[in-house]
A and B are shown apart, each in its own frame.
Chain A
Amino acid sequence: MSSLSYLDALEAESIHIFRETAAAFERPVMLYSIGKDSSVLLHLLRKAFYPAKPPMPLLHVDTTWKFREMIAFRDQVAAAGDVEVLVHINEEGVRQGVSPLTHGSAVHTDVMKTAALKQALDKYGFDAAIGGARRDEEKSRAKERVFSFRNAQHRWDPKHQRPELWHTYNTQIRKGESVRVFPLSNWTEMDVWHYIRREQIPVVPLYFAKPRPVVERDGALIMVDDERFILREGERVEMRDVRFRTLGCYPLTGAVASAADTLDKIIDEMAASRSSERQGRVIDHDASASMERKKQEGYF
């Protein structure tokens, strides 16, 4: 083999970033959100340090509103035993009864995701947090660095980002400061699926179509995943063939009507698709440029 395939090149670049993080930081962590990007990240984490075990733990920030199948999948990953899985819940938020159904997506995300993440990073003293964000996901992510500096308050300053040249990453920080690291920066959604298929990486079954109980709400198909769901007047639960393109908190994540129940069919469906990945995410629509504001505040 004299030259690399496109996927091989992406894989090598990501492995390079993982190794750089492990070598340059004292206490790195990989943020694990259970979705397909996290599955790819975990696969790359294992590859990067083989035959050693991954030299960093995983951290799952549990909002308590994830799909049950996601939690089951996470617990399976933890049971594999080669990597430590830390779970953090914002107990203060739980005590206040913060819920996406009653408090709305903005408050829920702020308390149970953004604040919770900061709590966990501070609690364990992590100085580098690896995440699965891709630049193709959303406009403000397109300008994100691979090694993205955060001050001691976890804030991102888009106007004072460090120039990032070649693959020569500036990993210098002071005590209390941290970086977010994005090994999948240059991957697209399509690349992720092609890679999952090539490497036969397990993903949460919710990505595959099957009959699921859903209600139509504000133009989105919301799955009724447990008894906490509150039906509004006129809403009716029906079984429909759906799958998810992206996974988050179940009341905030829209399903798409689909018959794609295999990886091949998912990839075919995506190639023909004319809508973008985060369309199913309710939080992105709250206000224009909402993601950028969340990121400045410390959201991943």
Chain B
Amino acid sequence: MAMTEHTAATVQNSTNLLRFITCGSVDDGKSTLLGRLLYDAGMVPEDQLAALARDSRKLHTDSPDALDFSLLTDGLDAERQQGITIDVAYRYFHTPRRNFIVADCPGHEQYTRNMATGASNTQLAVVLVDARKGLLPQTRRHTYICALMGIRQVVLAVNKMDLVDHREDIYAAIAHEYRELAAQLGIGSVHCLPVVAPAGDNVGERSARMSWYRGPCLLELLEAADTAATQAVEFRMPVQWVNRPDASFRGYAGTISGGRVAVGSEIVVQPAMRRARVERIVTADGDLAHATAGQAVTLTLDREVDVSRGDVIADAARPAPVADQFAAHVLWMGDEPLLPNRAYWLKIGSRTVNARVTTIKHKVDVNTQAELAARRLELNEVGYCNIDLDHAIAFESYVDDRTLGGFILIDRQTNATVGCGMLDFALRRAANVHWQHTDLDKEARSASKGQQARCLWFTGLSGAGKSTVANLVERRLHALGYHTYMLDGDNLRHGLNKDLGFTPEARVENVRRVAEVAHLMVDAGLIVLVCVISPFQSERRFARHLFDQGEFLEVFVDTPLAECERRDPKGLYRKARAGEIVNFTGIDSPYEAPERAELHLHTSGLRPEQLAEQVVEQLLAGMTEHGHRA
């Protein structure tokens, strides 16, 4: 099918498409600016203009003749009533030079996720600032999210210049401050300009009222912006669909996400790394000799190899890296927080795998970019995380390739899109053992027992009364209908830990094993009572870090050494004093007392029953405090 000459819009055959977003704070005038841009580009048809005049009169009875351009873009009923933009709206317009797709992005803080959505497919951001207010925390937030989502060009529109008497010094101060901010965040290209959106100054035409500004107007800037996509240089194609109409044809359909492929190219199917050559590049318009990024094609190969949806076909000489553990930025979009070790679906390219965030290394304060410690990510928070997949995937760094570097996270219960992420690099671990994902999680298991899983970690000298108190606590919990298990250090040394002695190294390993077993039992939904001397701070800290916040309660059973030695229920102190046992805690091996135990039991003068009651009280109070998840 030959291409015909076009008579009207000459842009139809050009590659000139710019996707950009508009963002700024509430009331900065984004919708007005965009509406004005569409109007100036001649994109508002007469019937819409008539409706606009009618709606403007209805809403603004004080100035019946002025057009409210924001009404052109504020689409949803709810938005009109609230006077804010609550979702991303896409607009289409063209000039003789270029086609444009605009994502109109909301300024409300809680809709950050929509901004990220709008930014994900765009090459440029128009950031609005109110000249009276200057840069706001949201300005910084929006710019950070643009940078995070891979936008490297920003146009800063300083709006409402008429309300500051068109003063150049005010504009210049804002522009200067913004350039510094953008540079900090790694945005290479910044253009600033002063505008008055409703009147159209510097929107579609240069303003006569601000002659001190000699740069291009907004439309001219957009027409000149760089439109290159962020994609891999080498050939990459995620397989979407295996095309098998009959036994004679087997093709692999997908959109080329990077580079170029030709008939005869040597390729590799990733992640399994099976090699083959491209036999045909099939399209409905006939076979091609070669194809490039952005084209949707069907490849056939010269030999039978196993290829499925989700695989990536890549240049054999320069394939994509393959890994199952990554460092990535995650922007959380779910109402329920992101919790480490919870399983989510991760979709990248055409591949969906099981994933869990193993560690939140830090979260980023999006207003200051400060790195903060975090155990979870709430809605609209950004974290830098380690991610673990149940299958290896072919990937690219997000800064190089958005298709094979960007992923979404999907909640396995609700199917909601709860997060998006930008891959940074693969983590290489010495022991490349994968996490086996299971369908049920701790929450489900503990909920079916009508409780919240906990680990009560009793530490203290030998003979301090750990097992005695823990035993009473367990009996009490059992009577109340809770599901429990007690892990006693001495008992475990008869089985799991019978190969271990009492050297410091063996003690560390002893505590590590007990902690891991306790962690498994908490994962099973149980309330676990651990009784080990666990004399070292660092091992107790290790144990604590295995558990979620609020799940681990350290109980210091504080009985003075002299009292323990007096009791000596197993005769061990006597033997230690006699030198028959070495490395005995309190005698010739140290005990590091906890500094911040959740519960400090001073045993002197109290009966074990009273101590146990303290533990039970504190445990149950903590459960009410944290509440049951619905």
Chain A residues proximal to chain B, CB less than 8 Å:
1-9, 11-13, 15-16, 19-20, 22-23, 46-53, 135-136, 139-140, 142-143, 158-159, 161-168, 170, 172-174, 185-186, 188, 190-191, 194, 197-200, 264, 267-268, 270-271, 273-276, 279, 288-289, 292-293
Contacts and interface: CB of A to CB of B under 8 A. Distances in A.
Contacts of A279: 45, 47
Nearest to B416: A162
A267 B16 CA distance: 20
B516 to A, nearest CB: 33
Contacts of B415: 170, 172-174
Contacts of B80: 289
Interface in B301-350: 309, 333, 345, 347-350
B294 to A, nearest CB: 5
Interface string B1-42: 101101111011111110000000000000000000000000
10 contacts: A6-B14, A8-B295, A9-B294, A15-B296, A163-B420, A165-B116, A199-B1, A267-B7, A274-B45, A275-B47
Given A8-B295, A19-B253, 18 more contacts: A1-B292, A4-B292, A15-B296, A16-B240, A47-B283, A135-B91, A136-B92, A139-B73, A143-B88, A159-B87, A163-B113, A165-B121, A165-B417, A168-B406, A172-B345, A190-B9, A200-B1, A292-B75
A32 B86 CA distance: 32
Interface residues of B, number: 77
A4 B1 CA distance: 16
A23 B296 contact: no
Contact of B45 (A1, A9, A174, A276): A276
A65 B151 CA distance: 49
A277 B73 CA distance: 17
Contact of B298 (A12, A50, A168): A50
Nearest to A160: B416
Interface of B: 1, 3-4, 6-9, 11-17, 45-48, 55, 73-78, 80, 86-92, 99, 101, 113-114, 116-117, 120-121, 240-241, 243-245, 249, 251, 253-255, 282-285, 292, 294-296, 298, 309, 333, 345, 347-350, 402-403, 406-408, 410, 415-417, 420
Contacts of A162: 416-417
Nearest to A269: B8
Contacts of B86: 159
Contacts of A16: 240, 255, 296
Contacts of A289: 76-77, 80
A29 B81 CA distance: 36
A220 to B, nearest CB: 12
A52 B420 contact: no
Contacts of A142: 73, 75, 89-91
Contacts of B403: 166-167
B41 to A, nearest CB: 13
B76 A5 contact: no
- Looking at B296, B333, B410, the one whose CB has the most chain A CB atoms below 10 A away is B296
Contact of A168 (B55, B78, B408): B408
Contacts of B99: 6
Contacts of A173: 415
Across the A-B interface, the 6 shortest Cβ-Cβ residue pairs = A139-B75, A271-B8, A52-B245, A50-B284, A15-B296, A47-B284
A256 to B, nearest CB: 12
A3 B87 contact: no
A165 B120 contact: yes
Given A22-B241, A23-B240, A267-B8, A48 B296 contact: yes
Nearest to A288: B55
B294 A292 contact: no
Contacts of A161: 87
A140 B17 contact: no
Contacts of B16: 6
A168 B48 CA distance: 34
B75 A143 contact: yes
B296 A143 contact: no
Given A12-B294, A268-B7, A52 B255 contact: no
A185 B90 contact: yes
B345 A20 contact: no
B294 A276 contact: no
A3 B292 contact: yes
B47 A276 contact: yes
Contacts of A52: 243-245, 249
A275 B47 CA distance: 5
A19 B296 CA distance: 10
B408 A170 contact: yes
Contacts of A292: 75-77
A156 to B, nearest CB: 11
Nearest to A271: B8
A21 to B, nearest CB: 10
Nearest to B411: A172
Nearest to A11: B296
B87 A143 contact: yes
Nearest to A164: B117
Given A140-B75, A172-B345, A188-B92, A5 B14 contact: yes
Contacts of B75: 139-140, 142-143, 292
A163 B12 contact: no
Nearest to B3: A198
Given A3-B292, A5-B13, A267-B7, A168 B282 contact: no
Contacts of A185: 90
Given A168-B406, A274-B45, A23 B76 contact: no
Contacts of B249: 51-52
Contacts of B9: 190, 194, 271
Given A47-B284, A142-B75, A164-B117, A7 B47 contact: no
Contacts of B92: 135-136, 186, 188
A110 B345 CA distance: 38
Nearest to B80: A289
A10 B111 CA distance: 28
Contacts of A186: 90, 92, 101
B45 A273 contact: yes
A268 B309 CA distance: 43
B1 A51 contact: no
A142 B523 CA distance: 45
Given A4-B295, A20-B350, A173-B415, A143 B89 contact: yes
A193 to B, nearest CB: 9
Contacts of B282: 50-51
A174 B90 CA distance: 28
A252 B1 CA distance: 36
B605 to A, nearest CB: 59
B347 to A, nearest CB: 6
Given A12-B295, A270-B8, A292-B76, A165 B45 contact: no
Contacts of B48: 276
B90 A7 contact: no
Contacts of B87: 143, 158-159, 161
B13 A163 contact: no
Nearest to B149: A165
A189 to B, nearest CB: 10
A170 B417 contact: yes
